[in-house]
Every structure is written in C-alpha cells, then in structure tokens.
Structure 1
Amino acid sequence: MNTPAPSVWRQPAQVWAVAFACVVAFMGIGLVDPILPAIADSLQASPFETELLFTSYLAVTGLAMLVTSWISSRIGAKKTLLIGLALIVVFALLCALSGSVDAVIGFRAGWGLGNALFISTALATIVGAASGGSAAAIILYEAALGLGIAIGPLLGGLLGEQSWRAPFFGVVVLMAIAFLAVLLLLRGPEEKRTPVPFSAPFTALRRPALAVLAVAAFFYNIGFFILLAFSPFPLGFGAMGIGFTFFGWGLALAITSVWVAPLLMRRMSRTRVILTVLPLLAVDLIVAGLLVDSAAALVVCIVVGGLLLGIMNTVLTEAVMEATDLPRSVASSAYSSVRFLGGAIAPPLAAALWHAFSATVPYLVAAIAVLVAALTVFLGRRVLSHIDDEPDDAAVEDAEAILMGDAA
C-alpha cells in the first residue's frame, strides 16, 4: 500500500508564520518599483538618485549576510528573525516620514540590515521545521518569495496612487503583523546551537562549487535587477500601470519557481537547466532592449522574464543547498551576500547607461551579464558535477510528488 505523499501546504503553524513574514519581506524588494517616478518627481531626484533606493537596500543586505549566521548561531533563530522584522518596521516608518531622497536612501540601508537578518535565517528555519523534507521547504520558501515579489509592486501601485509615502506605511503595518506572528507562533525548544565562526562565510566562498555558484549569481542578479529596477522608467506608466505590470512579472516568477522548476529538474540536471534558461533570459533581455520604445512589447518581455527568473531562483537555491557539506545557514549567507551585491550594482548602472546612451543599452548590458553567468557555470561544471549526482530523481521527484501528490 502506497503512503500518500505529504502536501507541501500542510505545515506546522510556525512554518506558516515564517512563510507569511517571508512574503512581506520580499514585498519590500518590489514595493518601491511603482513609485520610483513619483519619488523622483516629489523629491526632485534624478533617476540615478532614485535607483540608489535599491542599491543602499541591496548592498547593506549583501554585506550583512556575511555576519547573519554568526549572529543567529549565538542568539538563536527566533531572536534573529524578530530583530530583523523589528528593524524593517522601524526603517520603513522612517522612510515614510522622510523629506528628502537622501534620507530615504539612508533609511532603506537600515531596512536592508533588517532584511538580511530575517531572510538568511528564514530559509534555515523553514527547512528545519517544515514537513516533507528540504525539497518541500525550498518550494514553500520560493512560493513565499514569488508571492511577495508579485504582491509588492501591486500594493506599491495601489497605495502609490495616494502618495509615495503610503507604500512604506503599508509595509510598517504588515511587518508588525509578521512580527507578532513569529513571536506568538514560532514556539518550541530551539535546536542546540553550535556557534559559527565569524570567518565561516568567507571561508565558505573558498569552496570551488559555492564560489562558482556565487559568481554566477552575482552576474545573474545584475540582469535580474536591471529588469526589475530600471523598467519602470522606460515603461512610462503611472503607479498602477507599473504595479500591474510587475504583479504579472511576480506572478509568472511564482508559478515557474513552484511548479515548473521541479518538473524541469526531474528531467534534466540542475546545471543543464541553468545553461538552458540563462541564454533564453539573455534573448528576452535583448528583445526588451530592441523594443523598449513599445510599452506593450516591454510588458511582454518583463512577464516572460519573470517566467525564466522563477526557474532560475529555485534551481540556484537547490544547487547551493547541495553544493557543499557546510551548514545551510553558512552556505546560504555566503552565497546570498555575493548575489545581493550584484543586485546592488545594477540599478544605478542602468540609470547611468540610460543617461549616457539610450534606454536600449541597459538591457543589452543585462543580457551580457546573464551570459557571463552562464559561461561561469559552463566553465565550472566539473566542480559542480556533484550537484547533479541526484537531480534527484530522489529530491526533485520527491518535491514534485509532494507538490502534485495525493492530498488525502
């Protein structure tokens, strides 16, 4: 008699509390997208200055990732999550009350610190507490990521129609709810903590497999964030138009990260999926650059990009989890640090290229960055061979079974 596969959606309350907080945390990435033009107009800021809202947030998130495993191993996952959420509440409120673009840029940096503490700990917490194993946990985490990235621009557009400040107030309320959810629902004794050395993430990046994936993710994120952070300007839409466009983008990302990526990994190795999807993403970015003057064509390219990005996010996350025998929190922190720094470079780079040349050039540079990521994986495929040892008819088939299996 076959035992029904567990459902990824049947999880303890503490997992749902962290997952909900993840949704809200990831909303913060795309929240400012629809209001970038409004912030530029209201605060007399140039596109370059406005794009620094992403850079300060992502740069601090990336750098702080290097110490989050050291912190959480000493004070525990729950306290780290709560401190991260509290910092986001405080700095989102300060953003809403700011009177200059420089102040918003600075407070977004503080927001990034809270984001780093939360995100790096959330994945390890979900993996440790979720039923159905790590494959189910990663799918749930990526679902939260996709949902948050989808809802963020839509909420930003809806609230941004009232004021550029309103989306920040919205985050304050939602993050306060997430704080209470984690405080009340994340219960039970924590696993015995083994202090992680401060140098652990730096040492982790010396591991060849993790280094290859981190470098690839650095360039991949340049393409990711040029598409996300720069596109609101050439689109020429109002807050709601931008919000709906990136809601479609985020929804596409969520669908492929949760459903399509596991199916592909059942049929192909992880590296083969990466080497197939990245060139397709480069083609999409090139088309976006060539057709940038057509708003309709650019919207299509943005949504298609979301489909491809969703696959990449899930595959890269699973690859990193399998790349080394290091604790997941250490591997995730080291990898995410490099990845977020790539994202930090992208928005002001895109604005500078737009000002110096045309709106086409940023997309072409994004395509080149994505191809460099593909080349990095191709050249490093030998040291990545072990992540394909079990593409996992075991892990991936389990993930698919968990997702598609009998809910009874």
Structure 2
Amino acid sequence: MSAPHGKAASPFKQPKAVWAVAFACVISFMGIGLVDPILPALAENLHASPSQVSLLFSSYLIVTAVAMLFVGWISSRIGAKRTLVVGLVVIVVFAALAGMAGSVNGIVGMRAGWGLGNAMFIATSLAVIVASASGGFGGAIILYETALGLGIAVGPLLGGELGGISWRGPFFGVAVLMAIALVATLAFVPSLPKPKRPTSPIAPLKALRHRGLLTMGIMALLYNWGFFTMLGYAPYPMKLNAHELGLVFTGWGLLVAAFSVFFAPRLQARFGTAPVLYANLLGLGIVMALIAAGVSNPTVVIVAVIVSGAFIGINNTLTTQAVMLVSPVERPVASSAYGFLRFIGGGLAPFVAGKLADATDLSVPFYLGAATFLLAIPVLASGHRLLRKAEAKLGEGEPVAPSLTPVGSPAATTDAPPVIVAVGAHDRAAAIVDAAALLARDTDSPLEVVHVQQTAVVEEQAVDTETDEQARAAVTAHLDRLSADGIAATGQILTSVGDHAAAGRALAHHAAEVHARTVAIGRSPRGPVTQFADGSLTTALTHSATCTVVLVDPDSTPRHLTKDSLAEMRNSAV
C-alpha cells in the first residue's frame, strides 16, 4: 500500500516481544527435524522396531490435530499471550519428561503431551508476532520467515550433534531452549486484547461442511500422509549415524525454507495456485516412488530426501493459501479445521507405514506415500473451479461510503475511467491521497480510494494483518476528509492472500475490472531485503496492471511508472 517517505525500515528493528516469540518459533520449528536424526539410535538403544519408534510422530501429530479444534476457543477466552505461554510450558515439561523416559512407550506418551503444547503455540505465535510488531506487519513476517528457516535448517543439525552424544540430548535441548523462550515471553510480550466474539469449540468441525475447505483439507491430509511417511521412515535405509543424518536433513530443511518463502509465491504469481500444486504433487509422487524403488541404495534415498525439500516447501505454502482462498469462514476457524485434517494425515501415516513395513518390506510404505501424493491431484482437481473462482474474487472490492455528507456540490456523476489511489494506515497517506485527488481533477476523472486487506501466509501458518474495522477505517478516514472539503470520492476494500506482492496483483486486477485510468501509489519504506523476502507490491502492480501506474511523491510532481522503469524503481527502494 502507500507508504511514507524516509529511510527504509529494517525488518529487524522490532520490540523485544517480537524477538522473544521469534526465538520460541525457531525452537518450535526445530521440533520434528531435531528428532529425525535419532530415530535409528532410539530403535537400537531401546530395543524397539522402526514401527514402534514411528509412534513418536503419530502420538505427537494426532494430539496436535485434535487440539487444533479447541485452541481457537481457548485463545478467544484467555487471550493469545496466555495461550502461547501455556503452550510453551507444556512443551518444556513434556520434552524434559521425554528425555527422562526409559522406554519407547514412555517417549511416545510424552510426545503426545508435547503435541498439545505445540498446537497451542503454532495457533497463536504468528498472530502474536504480527500484533506486537512495530513499523507494520511486513517486518514481523520477515522475522517469522527467518525463524522458520533457522528452525527447519538448524533443527536436524542440532539434533544430530546432540543425538551423537545421547539419544536423550535432543529432548533435553528442546526443554532448555524453550524454557529460555518461556522466560523471555513472560518478560517482554504484553497482554493482547481478546477477540470481541469468543470462538465456538465446534466451529472448525462445522466449517468442514463447506465443500471448498473440506476439499483442500482432504488434499492436505493426503499430502501430509506422504510427507510424514518419508520423515518417519527415510532415516532407516540411509544407514547413517545421528550426525550424518543431521547433515542430510539440514540440506532438506534449507530447501524447504527457501522454496517456501522465496519460490512458492513467485511460482504462484506466474502459473496460478492450482497448476503449481498439480505439478508439485506429481513431483513429490515421483520422488517418493524413487525412494521406494531405491530403498536398498542409501545414496538414492539421501538424494531423493534432500530434493523433496524443494517440493515440500512449495506445497506447504500454496496448500495453506488454497485453504485460505476458498474458506468462507474466519481465518482462525479455517486454520483450525485445516490443521485438524493435515495433522490427522501426518499422524496416521507413520502408524500405518509401520504396520505395512512389518508385514511386507520397507519399500511398501514409500509406495503408499507416493500413491497418496498422486491421489491428492484428483482431489484438488475436484475443487479446481472453486479455487479459480476464489482467486478471481481477490480483485473484487467491498464498497465503502464516507460517514460525512460532502460540503458544497458533489462532483457530477461521470462514466470516465477512475483514478485509483492505494492507501495504508500511516502519516503520509493523506498527502498521497491529496496528490491523487489533484491528478483526478486534472484528468476530469472520478477518484477511488482503495485499501488492500491482507492475509499473510508463511509456510503452513496464516494470519489476518488487520481487523475488518481497521481496514474500513483506513478508507473512511480519507473519504470523510475529502467530503469535508467538498471533494467526492468512492472507497473500496480489496482482499489478498499471500505475500505483499499478492496485494499488488489484487490491486491490478481490480483496476482492470473498473477500467481505471491510473493507479496512484506512494513510496514504500520497506527496504530491499523485506521486499525481496515478502515481495514488492509496486513491482507486482506494475507488472500486472493494464493501466498507467503513478508513483506519487507529495513533495514533487507525480511520475509515471512503466515496466521499463522497474530497474530505476528498485534502485530507489520503492
């Protein structure tokens, strides 16, 4: 959206509250990767079969799945901070107890408790970071993405190092690090307001009556079935020690993080959500089949697992976006319903894989995993029309009227193409709107004030960056001010799902729908690092717009932007 002048804001200049939760996120994202390198060691030291050890995943994920149905209800009553703190306490306690357990069954039980804490944490962490951030949500999203990348990449490495000392090491490591995060959260994170309306505990299950949400949820269940089959059983045919397994899954984690944050949004913008998911699921099915066929060759398994990280990173992000696009219910409710289905798939897969491996051989669970990836394709296809329709609606506006009656004679109704000005909530927005109003007057065009309400998606998490009331206020404040000056203008609120660039594409789509003459925007304070990671609204708008895009500088004459001027625009840190 429009932005003030001045030095580009750094995404890393954030309050201590944001850093405290970001640190906890790093440890949380380490969770699965931290345990994966020690699976063979657990089986050997505790005299357990791979199928028994796989229950560490099943108990953890099934409890997380069931808990996801209720965490929204809990959070709406005790607040996001308290929910986050309770989740951290539960993780610390059960991680430590898992380290002290003397049998596989004991660890499986402790991992179940760990899953409860994990559900409470992941359901609130992104929302708390966004609510606590200074200088806009963009910097908070970058920190969350950074935490995700560090956790996924460093988790297996740390798990391999600690697991090389003792299989108990990763469990105690998580307990200590999460205890530090708990203290920091208590000390620095302020209490956050509760939602105006408490969430019903059965709302997520009711939401699954909506065909689009149920379809995307079943696709996620099938995808996670294959994903967690690989995580639960791929370490065994590699025949590596804990340290070496840690290095393999670190390479895997780096690809997951990179393709989730950087490549998934760009592929989606180029080809669309559904086509990328079709190709991605097919790629995962092929990789999984290669693991199954080459299960007796450690090199094949190692390479295939690392390569799968790229596909998994893309799938995690775009599946979440697909769910948020088609869901007709509130974001927290949609996230809970989606989380329930995907974690159920991930929890059942290791259990079934263990039974199949015991009854046949190790290749069969991987062939089944490949089949679930491929089965997810027709499931997605059954909801293709709903997804395309939801994507098309992102450019449709919700009209906003001024609350004041214009002073003097309003401008005459005209069929002339409008001038659109994109606004955000900041101190220079009024000057940018005024400059756009002059441009509209000079071209004898109606003026439309537009704000894009964004839903940020980071890997498998989604959060609204503002409330409906805040989005509406961002428009009505300008309409009322213009009305007081006798200037007629209309208002629109658009919605977007994804990174910051997705807002630019939604704005371009809306401009095409209303046959706009010009779209006026202000300079962005988001530095090049933030724009690279979270996308540039201006760049996406300029690439996608079919009309003129004008960069409004309130202190000088507006200058026109074309696709040919993008290089200059990037150098100016727009």
Letter in 1 for 2:277: I
1:232 to 219, 223, 235: 235
Letter in 2 for 1:375: P
Letter in 1 for 2:501: D
2:501 to 380, 398, 407: 398
Residue in 2 aligned with 1:362?
A: 365
Are the aligned partners of 1:271 and 1:388 in contact in 2 as well (CA < 8 Å)?
no
CA offsets per residue over residues 182-220 of structure 1, 9 Å max, x none?
Answer: 222222642544211111111111122211111000000
Q: Secondary structure at the match of 1:33?
A: helix
1:97 partnered with 2:100: yes
Q: Secondary structure at the match of 2:329?
A: coil
How far is 1:153 from its partner?
1.6
Are the aligned partners of 2:291 and 2:304 in contact in 1 as well (CA < 8 Å)?
yes
Letter in 2 for 1:287: L
Residue in 2 aligned with 1:345?
A: 348
Are the aligned partners of 1:266 and 1:393 in contact in 2 as well (CA < 8 Å)?
no
Are the aligned partners of 2:79 and 2:192 in contact in 1 as well (CA < 8 Å)?
no
| Residue range with higher mean Cα deviation, 227-236 or 14-23 | 14-23
2:278 to 275, 280, 302: 275
When normalised by structure 2's length, the TM-score is 0.66
Residue in 1 aligned with 2:91?
A: 88
Distance across 2 between alignment mates of 1:132 and 1:205: 36
Residue in 2 aligned with 1:309?
A: 312
Residue in 2 aligned with 1:47?
A: 50
- Map residues 5-44 of structure 1 onto 2, 5 A cutoff: 11-44=14-47
- Map residues 66-77 of structure 1 onto 2, 5 A cutoff: 66-77=69-80
Q: 1:161 to 1:352 in 2, by over 3 A?
A: same
Larger gyration radius, structure 1 or structure 2: 2
What is the number of equivalent residue pairs in this alignment?
A: 408
Q: Whose relative contact order is higher, 1 or 2, with alpha carbons under 8 Å and at least 6 apart?
A: 1
Distance across 1 between alignment mates of 2:326 and 2:81: 26
- Map residues 141-180 of structure 1 onto 2, 5 A cutoff: 141-180=144-183
| Residue range with higher mean Cα deviation, 74-83 or 256-265 | 256-265
Are the aligned partners of 2:76 and 2:194 in contact in 1 as well (CA < 8 Å)?
no
2:264 to 257, 261, 266: 261
Distance across 2 between alignment mates of 1:393 and 1:206: 24
Q: 1:251 to 1:187 in 2, by over 3 A?
A: same
Distance across 2 between alignment mates of 1:133 and 1:272: 32
Distance across 2 between alignment mates of 1:105 and 1:199: 28
| Structure 1 spans left out of the alignment, 5+ residues | none
CA RMSD of aligned residues (A): 2.6
| Structure 2 spans left out of the alignment, 5+ residues | 396-494, 503-529, 537-569
How far is 1:402 from its partner?
5.6
% same residue? 47
Q: 1:210 to 1:16 in 2, by over 3 A?
A: farther
Residue in 2 aligned with 1:110?
A: 113
Structure with a larger share of its residues in helix: 1
Are the aligned partners of 1:65 and 1:334 in contact in 2 as well (CA < 8 Å)?
yes
1:60 partnered with 2:63: yes
Q: 1:138 to 1:109 in 2, by over 3 A?
A: same
1:334 partnered with 2:337: yes
Structure with a larger share of its residues in strand: 2
When normalised by structure 1's length, the TM-score is 0.92
Letter in 2 for 1:237: L
Residue in 2 aligned with 1:294?
A: 297
Distance across 2 between alignment mates of 1:10 and 1:235: 43
Q: 1:69 to 1:192 in 2, by over 3 A?
A: closer
Are the aligned partners of 1:146 and 1:257 in contact in 2 as well (CA < 8 Å)?
no
Distance across 2 between alignment mates of 1:157 and 1:368: 30
1:373 to 372, 376, 381: 376
Are the aligned partners of 1:146 and 1:310 in contact in 2 as well (CA < 8 Å)?
no
Distance across 1 between alignment mates of 2:196 and 2:210: 23
